Amino acid sequence: MARHVDPKCRLCRREGVKLYLKGYRCETAKCSIAKRRGVPGGRASKRVRKLSSYGIHFREKQKLKRFYGVFERQFIRYYHKAERKEGNTGENLLILLERRLDNVLCHIGYGHSRSHSRQIINHGHITVNGKKVDIPSFLVKQGDVIKPVDKEADINMIKMNVESNKDRKQPSWLERGDGDLDGRILQLPNRDEVSVDIQEQLVIELCSK
């Protein structure tokens, strides 16, 4: 399975925004965006060149891919799936990405970040509607119930993660009650509840060329 091996903070600096790739660290003074704002990752010079029209579209696409942790081939599949759905293609794309199981686990506090949530899923610690799921890209639907597998070690691990992420704000389309580890999908997300600040129309214009 492909994965990012580069320093995560460099990716945030390259896009110029917090992508929350390192969980709670991104909320502290250690965040590289706060310390080195305006200095893109991987650049030897502090001089920032003006982006072309293509560059603006491309950077918006890269921001979206890196936020959700998907690579080009998988991203294009999401785009074609969103294109076939009724309604606005950009909104459809964002909602598909938001429905990924690793993103949901991050929202409800099972994982500290999306990459941490992917690891939890890959290791077989999560069930959806009573069935073990080890695919991070699994798309949740309305009414799904997410739980840790019925093993004491897994339950204790998830409890510790939930406790350390207790201040994280949950979107209204998800529910995890106080003292309850069960996560529930109350409804599918809408555009206003998507967690990334993105101009999706720029991404669609680039992908449709």
Q: Which CATH superfamily is domain 100-188 in?
A: RNA-binding S4 domain (3.10.290.10)
What are the sequence ranges of the domains in the chain? 1-50, 100-188
Please give the model's pTM, rounded to 2 decimal places: 0.81
Distance between CA atoms of residues 134 and 138, nearest Å: 8
pLDDT (tens digit per residue) in 63-93? 898 889 898 999 999 999 999 999 999 999 9
- Average pLDDT of the segment spanning 32-39: 55
Distance between CA atoms of residues 171 and 26, nearest Å: 19
CA-to-CA dists, residue 190 to 14, 68, 94, 105, 197, angstroms = 28, 17, 9, 18, 14
Note the pLDDT of residue 180.
73
Spatial CA neighbour of 121 closest among 97, 137, 141, 109: 137
Q: For residue 55, count other CB atoms closer than 10 A to its CB.
A: 11
Distance between CA atoms of residues 118 and 1, nearest Å: 12
Least confident among 15-24, 99-108, 142-151: 15-24
Note the pLDDT of residue 173.
93
CATH class of 1-50: mainly alpha
